[in-house]
Structure 1
Amino acid sequence: MAKTAIALRLLLSRNKTLSQNESADIIDSYEKIAINATGDIRKATVNNAFSGKKRSSMVTIILIVESMGFTMSDFGEIYNDIKDEQILKFQQDILKQQS
């Protein structure tokens, strides 16, 4: 779950960087992802996927990735490059937010 959330956050971060440098309508928020998704997806579902607290279905992940304008290959490359240290830091950050 954490690895998926990290990969999604990295993709969203790319879009946020692009949206600051370009005037195009780039998907750079959870709300825009939910609105742009081709399937019926709620903002809360998007939020859950990015939080890493709940397991997301593959359909949800595909909808999110594609709504941001990326391919599953893009997602897979990032997912495979995530190191154990990144996962540990992500989990520690989540624990800090909860306390």
Structure 2
Amino acid sequence: MIKESEKIIIIKTAITLRKMLSNNKSSSAKSDGSVDIVNSYDKIAANSNSELTKATVNGAFSGKKRSTMATIVLIVESMGYTMIDFGEQYCKITDEHILDFKKNILYKGS
């Protein structure tokens, strides 16, 4: 069974990944198309230079499943970010963000 403190980490990770992907989607919309911006789960999996599957990527973004650090690093780097970028975003997640995520993402899917 996953402890509450670990659930918070899983949710904060999902929120952070979603924000990073959202930033890529915004950049993609503004792009002239000359640069291929990773803006979907499929592109993350394909760009990971690994055997990362779309299901694994989806699991990390869902906030429901525990992901390995290797998976998180592969996802972050395949989106064109560094772990410093990830850490900066992760540290900005508040309790309010977590409650909103639980209410609007986790509980809606149940």
Shift of 1:40: 1.3
Distance in 2 between the 1:25 and 1:4 partners?
25
TM-score, scaled relative to structure 2:
0.87
TM-score, scaled relative to structure 1:
0.96
The equivalent position to 2:97 in structure 1, one of 73, 86, 91, is 86
Instruction: Provide structure 2 residue ranges, at least 5 long, that are not aligned to the other structure.
Output: 1-9
Q: Does 1:11 align with 2:12?
A: no
Instruction: Provide structure 1 residue ranges, at least 5 long, that are not aligned to the other structure.
Output: none
User: Between Structure 1 and Structure 2, whose CA radius of gyration is higher?
Assistant: 2
RMSD: 0.6
More helix by share: 1
The equivalent position to 1:71 in structure 2, one of 76, 82, 88, is 82
Runs (4+) of structure 1 moved beyond 6 Å? none
Give the percent of matched residue pairs that are identical in Structure 1 and Structure 2. 57
